[in-house]
Structure 1
Amino acid sequence: MAETAARLCKADLVTGMVGEFPELQGIMGGYYARAEGYPDAVADAIRDHYKPVGQGDDVPTAPVTVAVSLADKLDTIAGFFVEEMPPSGSRDPYALRRAALGIVRTIILNRMELPLLIATFVAAANVTFRNQVSPFDRILPTIGELQKLKATVGWKQIFDQLIVAATNQANADAELFTIKAKATAIDLLDFFADRLKVQQKEAGVRHDLIDAVFALGGEEDLVRLLARVQALQAFVETPEGINLLAGYKRAANILKKEAPAESAGAEYVMEPAEAELVAALDAVEPAAEAAVAAEDFAGAMAALSRLRGPIDAFFEGVTVNDADAGKRAARLALLGRIRAAVHRVADFSRIEG
């Protein structure tokens, strides 16, 4: 039904009614589809696939309508990005920001587990390949001329060479188009991230927290991403979160100046606070990782909060930049573990404060 609705959803644009009253686009299409005997789900999808048009507009929830609405908006946005015509500054003549915001709202409201990078790549690839002329189409006139020479000596050799050349060109074009589609998909993901920040800012969510989650990479499911952001916002507003953020930033600043060595060096007797931090990390790392895998982001934050005390004690009682190279290497490695543990949830370096 979604495919049927997609094929028919723009048909009313050529009618006299919509030509006279453009604001009836979609609405008339729904009436026409119902009059032709199409199922209600198809007619409703044709009627509502433009939604949501504005911030206060209803978001579609019917499965067929959602599918057509998302496909239409993705195809539109991808088309302009492939042609390198994205919005710039205050200029957005084709309302691409509004379309992207509509996609974001639809995904979130329907709690769709949609891998956005894959979706944008498919849309960009579809537009890229659709707009290209096949090398075989280009050589058809030449083949037509060669047909007249069938009886001549060497015709087969020339024909074979032409087909080989066209095949090689088709393969080269396919590789080039794929690269272009991938680059466009990355640009589109950034574009959707910006729209998500705008949408969530209006909902009271801090933009730096969205940055902190996006910065990890590999997270393109908007529903799961927002669950992380909401857990992160609740956590960083607690005393444990504030202190852990301070400890993380202190560790990260030290690591900017001197990266941890791959080998921690020779063993030595640890300071009590050092041993306590090692024990805490040994317990927290698997707990946080398991919580993230289960999409229990609040649980992951709770696990990380157990590092607060050991980190504070470590910085108060241990000299990281010790004269002993082995101790310094081991302590830098500990700071690296702190950073890696926290990055299981978000890149805390992006968080303000």
Structure 2
Amino acid sequence: MADLVIEFVSEEIPARMQSGAGRDLARLIETALTTLGVWQGNSVATGLCAPRHLLAYVTNIAASQPDRIIEKRGPRVDAPEAAIAGFLKSAGVSREDLVEEDTPKGRFLFARSEITGGDTAALLAPLIINILTHFPWPKSQRWGRGKFRWVRPLHRINILFDGKPLAGALDLGGGDAITFGATSCGHYFEAPDDIDLAGVTSLDDVKARLRAGYVMLDQDERHDAIISEAKKLAASQSCHLNEVQLGSYLADIAGLVEWPTPLMGQIEDRFMVLPPELLQATIAMHQKYITLSDSDGKFSSHFIVLSNRLGDAVRDKVIIAGNQRVLRARLADAEFFSQQDQARQLESYLPALGDVTFYEGLGSIHDKAIRMEKLASAIAPHMPSANPKAASRAARLAKADLVTGMVGEFPELQGIMGGYYAAASGEDKAVCDAITAHYRPQGPADDLPATHEAMVVALADKIDTLVGFFGIDAKPTGSKDPFALRRAALGIIRIIADGQLTIPLGKILQESASGYGFAKVDADLLPFIRDRLRGYLRDQKMRHDVVAAALADDDGDDIYLMATRASTLADFLAAVDGTGLMASWRRVSSILAAEEKKAKTTFAATSDPALFTEAEKALFDPLSTMAVNQDNIELQLAALGALRSPIDLFFEKIVVNDDDPAIRLNRLGLLAMIREKMLAVADFTKIEG
């Protein structure tokens, strides 16, 4: 057994590609070694990536291929001699080397030859060159005179097997080549000398050698170092990291540096009046700095920048000053856009939305705003605590900030800046809050809009989008959903279900279709939303069979009622009454299925009380008085749960297959009544187990 080290040293790999590159290299080398026959059951491939280093470390590879037998089937034993002679020539064997064997298709000739396994070290070079030339970079480039492509210009290829460098070279074309070696490199400035990898004994050994050259090869190690040191630095100013926001771009930050050193800078006071969301976008998303909150939870004027150098007091001051200067220019631009945008009333931007196409065939963004305004007026009455006037006004203004200078520069702030500009224009707070939150929820982890007015506008926006795209037949297909319609449907479901709202969705969808001038809502839209509801419920850790039972054949439009039915049924089945009732259901349904198969008919859910014993009457009475109320499944399930004891008593005291045919049919009818009542509540046939 031996270990294999593969390292590619290049110019800086884009941060967003580094994690994927490490995984891809480990996967490709494992596949190649498996094909070669040297991958063992205890072999492990680990891929790591730093800005200039892509490395795979593979443990426990066989030192040589196993010997193997190659078998080639020839013609039938009674084939013409010419056919046999042709096979002998192609296989390179004589007639005496052939063996005869019976097969399901007859007796055939076989040529078998034993191949001695080659040394793994001698087989690796072409394998690695193949990985290099077919590596799945999202984007790649050529350089120099050659035609070879890589994510960035490639400088070194280090291949070591059992600690020893392998011979080989990559032909770049144009007369250029990179010879395999065993020499890595350290940090640009802190350790520019070569790092010898010869004789490495483990992945930890490789990491240690590079770490001695101020290169943290492991991205997780860089992550941890950044968080740990940044927390200490923040604590020195009584601040803490904005870790929720940091999580979205930490990988990018860690991919920019080989040796992260956090330094603290400060925002000028004049910029602290800007909205915190704007400061976050400018400082974190655009400049890749780490933002902080003060001890009161407010956005701090301090921020952390990562230096790619060792700490040095004099140099650190220069680095901090340079970054503050760059940030000052950025924030000055943001300040300018904010002042320019607020020089006008937010409503004055509406006409410009007419020049922005929503989508071909669906009008402009201005058309969408007018539709949303009307749709909000239709939705708001179904939410008693919502202010219809504020919701309608917010829907009209919700998209106005799309044509402002600020959102043009920072698209991620759409809606948020609209809320601030609405406040500056003197709009009611309910209107401002609704504009700010109307894109929510933008994903499963995003919060719902906090106010009912915001929920109204968010529903109007998402419903308008769904109805429009379905109306022009631009529906999701398979894994393709270019207009994020599944996300829009999930947003509608979350607002209604989590917000516990009773909204006639079918009527609202038709109202939206009328706004487009469509005669009716596309027939696929409501089923599409119901299907997303099933997925949403399963994402809530609800069993798929319970969801299927609760929503089976449900063609309604009350999302909250359907979600409530599913969760209530799940809770019921997890309780003692539900477990006992399901045992009774299985017994009832199996008896009926067997008897109906023999009788070739379905038994009617009816029974004659005159033929009852006491145990049958105790079951019949609650069954006959049990009303079906689909709007209150909790009461329905409670009534079913109360049947558990009478059903148990029935099976304890009664033999269904009585010798008297009339009594037997009467008892089967009683069981059919149980089935009918249970199926009226949910489709229990879909419950597994």
Q: Structure 2 length normalisation: TM-score? A: 0.39
Q: Secondary structure at the match of 1:343?
A: helix
More helix by share: 1
Match of residue 686, structure 2, among 344, 350, 353:
350
Match of residue 119, structure 1, among 498, 501, 508:
508
Corresponding position of 1:225:
562
CA contact (8 A) 1:263 1:329 kept: no
Corresponding position of 1:15:
404
Distance 1:263 1:95 in 2: 51
Q: Which amino acid aligns with 1:105?
A: R
How far is the alpha carbon of 1:60 from its aligned partner? 0.6
Distance 1:323 1:71 in 2: 65
Corresponding position of 1:189:
526
Distance 1:99 1:218 in 2: 20
Distance 2:582 2:553 in 1: 17
CA contact (8 A) 1:216 1:343 kept: no
CA contact (8 A) 1:5 1:46 kept: yes
Q: Are positions 1:279 and 2:621 aligned together?
A: yes
Distance 1:49 1:231 in 2: 30
CA contact (8 A) 2:534 2:547 kept: yes
Distance 1:66 1:80 in 2: 21
**Closer, same or farther in 2 for the Cα pair 1:115/1:309, shift >3 Å?**
same
Distance 1:305 1:275 in 2: 18
CA contact (8 A) 2:605 2:671 kept: no
Q: Which has the higher contact order (CA 8 A, sep 6+)?
A: 1
Corresponding position of 2:571:
234
Q: Which amino acid aligns with 1:205?
A: M
Distance 2:428 2:610 in 1: 75
Q: Are positions 1:105 and 2:494 aligned together?
A: yes
Stretches of structure 2 that go unaligned for 5 or more consecutive residues are 1-389
Alignment deviations for residues 295-327 of structure 1 (CA, whole Å, 9 cap, x no partner): 370x43232122223334445665656676644
**Closer, same or farther in 2 for the Cα pair 1:320/1:33, shift >3 Å?**
same
Corresponding position of 2:431:
42
Q: Are positions 1:304 and 2:647 aligned together?
A: no
Alignment deviations for residues 267-319 of structure 1 (CA, whole Å, 9 cap, x no partner): 86335543332134235x14xx47x66x370x432321222233344456656
How far is the alpha carbon of 1:71 from its aligned partner? 0.7
How far is the alpha carbon of 1:29 from its aligned partner? 2.2
Matches within 5 A, 1:249-268: 249-253=586-590, 254=592, 257=597, 258-261=601-604
Corresponding position of 1:145:
none
**Closer, same or farther in 2 for the Cα pair 1:322/1:92, shift >3 Å?**
farther
Distance 1:117 1:324 in 2: 53
Match of residue 583, structure 2, among 238, 246, 251:
246
**Closer, same or farther in 2 for the Cα pair 1:62/1:268, shift >3 Å?**
closer
Q: Which amino acid aligns with 1:350?
A: K
Matches within 5 A, 1:308-323: 308-315=644-651, 318=654, 320=656
Distance 1:352 1:318 in 2: 27
Matches within 5 A, 1:317-332: 318=654, 320=656, 326-327=662-663, 329-332=665-668
Q: Which amino acid aligns with 1:201?
A: R
Alignment deviations for residues 150-204 of structure 1 (CA, whole Å, 9 cap, x no partner): xxxxxxxxxxxxxxxxxxxxxxxxxxx34xx2x52xx333322333333333332
CA contact (8 A) 2:605 2:673 kept: no
**Closer, same or farther in 2 for the Cα pair 1:308/1:267, shift >3 Å?**
closer
Alignment deviations for residues 14-34 of structure 1 (CA, whole Å, 9 cap, x no partner): 334323332122123223323
CA contact (8 A) 1:261 1:329 kept: no
Distance 2:609 2:411 in 1: 77
Matches within 5 A, 1:120-139: 120-127=509-516, 130=517
Distance 1:208 1:343 in 2: 15
Distance 1:347 1:213 in 2: 7
Q: Which amino acid aligns with 2:686?
A: R
Q: Which amino acid aligns with 2:502?
A: E
Alignment deviations for residues 70-128 of structure 1 (CA, whole Å, 9 cap, x no partner): 0110111122222232222222111111111211221233221123333334334544x
**Closer, same or farther in 2 for the Cα pair 1:121/1:335, shift >3 Å?**
farther
Match of residue 63, structure 1, among 452, 460, 463:
452
Corresponding position of 1:205:
542
**Closer, same or farther in 2 for the Cα pair 1:78/1:325, shift >3 Å?**
farther
Aligned length: 294
Distance 1:87 1:282 in 2: 47
Corresponding position of 2:266:
none
Q: Which amino acid aligns with 1:345?
A: V
Distance 1:247 1:310 in 2: 10
CA contact (8 A) 1:261 1:333 kept: yes
RMSD (Å), alpha carbons: 3.0
Q: Are positions 1:86 and 2:471 aligned together?
A: no
CA contact (8 A) 1:12 1:28 kept: yes
**Closer, same or farther in 2 for the Cα pair 1:324/1:125, shift >3 Å?**
farther
CA contact (8 A) 2:588 2:675 kept: yes
Match of residue 673, structure 2, among 321, 333, 337:
337
Q: Quick check: which has more Rg, 1 or 2?
A: 2
Distance 1:62 1:348 in 2: 38
